[in-house]
Amino acid sequence: MLIKHRKGWELPESLATPEHMFLDRRKFMGAAAGAAAFLSAGTVRAEEDPSVGLYPAKLNAKFGDAGRAVTAEDFNKTFNNYYEFGTSKQIYQAAEALPIRPWSVVIDGEVELPQTLAIDDLLKKVQLEERIYRHRCVEAWSMVVPWTGFTLKSLVEMAKPKAEAKFVRFETFNLPEIATGQQPGLFSSYPWPYVEGLTMAEAMNDLSFMVTGAYGKPLPKSMGSPIRLHLPWKYGFKSIKGIVKISFVKERPIGLWEAIQASEYGFWANVNPEVPHPRWSQAMEEVLGTGERVPTQLFNGYGEYVADLYTGLEKEPLYM
């Protein structure tokens, strides 16, 4: 993502514009391979995740095939956007410092049943399933990920929102002592914590998925463990990681990227190849790990599920 008044070398989003990626492919592939080697060398002592027995979950056949090959697991967990841990894609090792137990999710705001749920208690209350989704980053790259999780709709029903609740606001942890990207400094003046939001209708859509696992295992920390969102029809920055709070609110939430640069990153952020980002085209995407560039689809190809959410809202900036 980009901040207006910074120098080129400070612009994290510029690391991943398609042009730059082609030039730097060998460099970043090398870094990903290095991280993978580091992992298999066993230098990281991953504590056993207490939820490990819940995986793999049953595949939901409706989302059993994304029409493209699943992105390799080692690639996916070592190539990430997670600005809390740095501005490069190689944050895998830094993210390992995040303590994911104990972990609680606060559900509050305009609800009949406000609650604070320890992650393992939450996992007992929900129906886990696997879904293979396409993921399209605003930086014009994509991946295919076999997520495990539960519908956001089921969590909304657990909270029993009141009529006043119009939006759902998600918030990430704020731990600057662990997540060095959150420390004030040369590379970071972002208004932490990371925040994202949806309308109630979007939250109730069948596609909106609370993710706790991937590749048939608990989610790696680099991918947002212990709990994140995934919204396959929206640009990736809406799919917030490391969630600690879910609030049902009256006003439209302002996300981190919207707060930083509203002219480039909006509330809706639905994928549309015909609406360019102010600094690059969204017509095509690089399918990471394949070397292919393919045309981007409206709503990332999920229009049959979500297009009707936006009827009557055509005057809104739905695609940025």
Residues facing residue 249 across a β-bridge: 167
Please report, as residue ranges, which positions from 122 to 161 form the binding site for Mo ion (by CB under 5 A). Answer: 137
For residue 137, the minimal CB distance to Mo ion (Å) is 3
| Residue 86 · residue 158 · CB < 8 Å | no
The alpha-helical segments, DSSP class H, found in the chain are 18-40, 73-77, 92-95, 119-125, 152-159, 200-203, 256-260, 303-306
Note whether 256 binds Mo ion by CB under 5 A. no
For residue 1, the minimal CB distance to ligand MTE (Å) is 7
Q: Which does 82 bind (CB under 5 to 8 A by kind): Mo ion, ligand MTE, none?
A: ligand MTE
State which residue, 117 or 240, has the beta carbon closest to ligand MTE.
Answer: 240
Burial 175-212 (b: 16+ CB within 10 A, else e): beeebbbbeeeebbebebbbbbbbbeebbbbebbbbbb
Which residue matches tokens 């580091």? 38
Please classify residue 88 by burial: count the beta carbons closer than 10 Å to its beta carbon, then call 0-12 exposed, 13-18 middle and 19+ buried. Answer: middle
Please report, as residue ranges, which positions from 83 to 102 form the binding site for ligand MTE (by CB under 6 A). Answer: 83-84
Which residue matches tokens 């600690």? 244
CA distances (Å), origin 195, targets 123, 246, 272, 275 = 23, 10, 23, 24
Q: Which of 169, 221, 234, 241 binds ligand MTE (CB under 6 A)?
A: 241
Please report, as residue ranges, which positions from 64 to 83 form the binding site for Mo ion (by CB under 5 A). Answer: 81
Note whether 103 binds ligand MTE by CB under 6 A. no
Q: Which residues 6+ apart lie within 8 Å of 119 measured at CB?
A: 51, 100, 101, 102, 103, 104, 105, 212, 226, 227
Q: Which of 236, 255, 266, 289 binds ligand MTE (CB under 6 A)?
A: 236
For residue 178, the minimal CB distance to Mo ion (Å) is 22
Q: Which residues 6+ apart lie within 8 Å of 203 measured at CB?
A: 152, 153, 156, 168
Q: Which stretch binds ligand MTE (CB under 6 A): 158-166, 198-206, 238-246, 265-273?
A: 238-246
Note whether 156 binds ligand MTE by CB under 6 A. no
State which residue, 237 or 302, has the beta carbon closest to ligand MTE.
Answer: 237
Q: Which of 57, 94, 107, 137 binds ligand MTE (CB under 6 A)?
A: 137
Q: Which residues 6+ apart lie within 8 Å of 122 measured at CB?
A: 105, 227
Interface with ligand MTE: number of residues (CB under 6 A): 17
Q: Which of 237, 267, 268, 302 binds ligand MTE (CB under 6 A)?
A: 237
Please state, in angstroms and rounded to a whole number, the distance separating the CA atoms of residues 64 and 298. 20
Interface with Mo ion: number of residues (CB under 5 A): 4
Q: Which does 240 bind (CB under 5 to 8 A by kind): Mo ion, ligand MTE, none?
A: ligand MTE
Q: Which stretch binds ligand MTE (CB under 6 A): 31-39, 100-108, 146-154, 239-247?
A: 239-247
Note whether 81 binds ligand MTE by CB under 6 A. yes
Q: Enter the DSSP assignment of 262.
A: T
Note whether 80 binds ligand MTE by CB under 6 A. yes
Please state, in angstroms and rounded to a whole number, the distance separating the CA atoms of residues 19 and 140. 10
State which residue, 103 or 237, has the beta carbon closest to ligand MTE.
Answer: 237
Please report, as residue ranges, which positions from 220 to 239 form the binding site for Mo ion (by CB under 5 A). Answer: 236-237
User: Which residues are at the interface with Mo ion (CB under 5 A)?
Assistant: 81, 137, 236-237
User: Which residues are at the interface with ligand MTE (CB under 6 A)?
Assistant: 80-84, 135, 137, 172, 194, 223-224, 236-237, 239-242
